[in-house]
A and B are shown apart, each in its own frame.
Chain A
Amino acid sequence: MDIKSKIRTFVVENFLFGKDAGLDEETSFLDEGIIDSTGILELVNFIEEEFHIKVEDEELIPENLDSIANVVKYLERKLGR
């Protein structure tokens, strides 16, 4: 499974309870109320464990984490891909 699919699957299973409903990869998690601030930290925990990285405090910004597309771009930079 590629990065995008892993992130999408995690978000759909944990925050949309299996209902994909055409979740757009540019949709803001926070603006749309899909994930709250505690949920973002659950996502961070998943990313750290799944991809064996450490998300630094200063990297906890919407640009890195607030949509599927943002998370994918962040991970690709972090993993050097």
Chain B
Amino acid sequence: MDFSRSVLDIDAEAEIIRISDFIRDIAHERYKRKGAVIGLSGGLDSAVIAELSVRALGEDKVLALFLPEKESNPVSLKYGQKQAQKLGIETIKVDISENLESLGAYENRDLVIKSIFPEFDKSYKFHVTLPQDLLEKDRLNYRSLTIEDLKGNRKKTRISASDWQKISACQNLKQRLRMIQQYYYAEKNNYIVSGTTNKTEILQGLFVKFGDGGVDIDPIAHLYKTQVLQLAKKLGVIPEIINRPPSPDTYSLPVTDKEFYLCLDYGLLDLLLYAYQEHVPIEQISSTLELKPEQIQRVFKDFKMKGHATWHMREMPPILDTQTKCPEV
């Protein structure tokens, strides 16, 4: 079996044409819609989707939404605006902080954090992380909460399943509210909502069900993150976005995708994920990536656990009567 460090290299130009054709076909032929709405987050994936959508539908048929909230990194908006300007597409900014306040997202979440760290208040920032020693040790995943005061002093502690579930439910409201706004503007304009989730995120469960997972089309869901990066370079996405460390951008204290959930850099993660999916022999992975077999086994166990924990997110809702379906369009 062919497995090398370049196994994920793609013909970016050909893939750009293929995906652009796909977007056009789905929007026009399948859904009979005129254009696409994209939540432009200032990150790599949405920038690539915006580029591809313009190629597919034309710059006057792509609407970029900026959907910041009070805990978003300010550079996200700045980079998103610059990328949109480069493409010449229409943009609308909708700050979702008030929506989140009305749902009690911040208040309910902060109550949980305060029950763990009584000193926590609005002056503090926080984030949640997984242990970062996946290659080094046999260990189970557990979440740690870190708070930081105005002077930069930090405290960190492991949190219980119950506390994580409450914090996560509040945090996921951010992605779900963005979905609501995207569908509002899409339906107003007779557009589709384009997703921005990539294959690495889907396989690992790094998305929110009916949040950033609630879309009409997922044009890069077949590509690993490192392949999306190849497209970004070919498409001419702005360098600030290309060079920016990937982040969920949902925590007031900045955290990368690696620290929050993935535990590995995308370069290595994608190769191991590919090898796991394609059942590449451990010995071959070991010699190609210069990792010990036990390190690879640890990562594969992590993939299996995350896959089990998130499988329901990749499924359509079950239907009792399998005859309940529309005729093929």
> How long is the Cα–Cα vector from A60 to B160 in the complex, in angstroms?
13
Report the Cα distance A57→B108, complex, angstroms: 27
List the count of A-B residue pairs having beta carbons below 8 Å apart. Answer: 51
Asked if B70 is at the interface (CB within 8 A of a chain A CB), the reply is no
Q: Considering the chains assembled together, what is the distance between the CA atoms of A62 and B142 in angstroms?
A: 12
- Report A-chain residues with C-beta under 8 Å of the C-beta of B121: none
Q: How far is the CA of A66 from the CA of B305 in the complex (A)?
A: 12
B142 lies within 8 A of A41 (CB): yes
B305 contacts A30, CB within 8 Å?
yes
In the complex the two chains form, is A45's CB within 8 Å of B161's CB?
A: yes
Residues of chain A within 8 A of B165, CB atoms compared: 38
Known contacts: A36-B309, A37-B305. The answer to whether A42 contacts B161 by CB under 8 A is yes
Q: Cβ of B25 < 8 Å from any Cβ of A?
A: no
Residue total for A at the interface (Cβ-Cβ under 8 A): 20
Instruction: State the CA gap A33–B161 with chains docked (Å).
Output: 17
User: Residue among A37, A39, A44, A62 with the most chain B CB within 10 A?
Assistant: A37
Say whether B139 contacts A37, CB under 8 Å. no
- Besides A33-B308, A37-B141, A37-B309, 7 other CB < 8 A contacts? A30-B305, A37-B140, A39-B161, A41-B143, A45-B162, A62-B138, A66-B140
List 22 contacting pairs A-B, 8 Å CB cutoff, sorted by A.
A30-B301, A30-B305, A31-B304, A33-B308, A36-B309, A37-B142, A37-B305, A38-B161, A38-B165, A38-B309, A41-B142, A42-B161, A42-B162, A57-B158, A60-B139, A60-B142, A61-B137, A61-B139, A61-B140, A62-B139, A63-B138, A66-B140
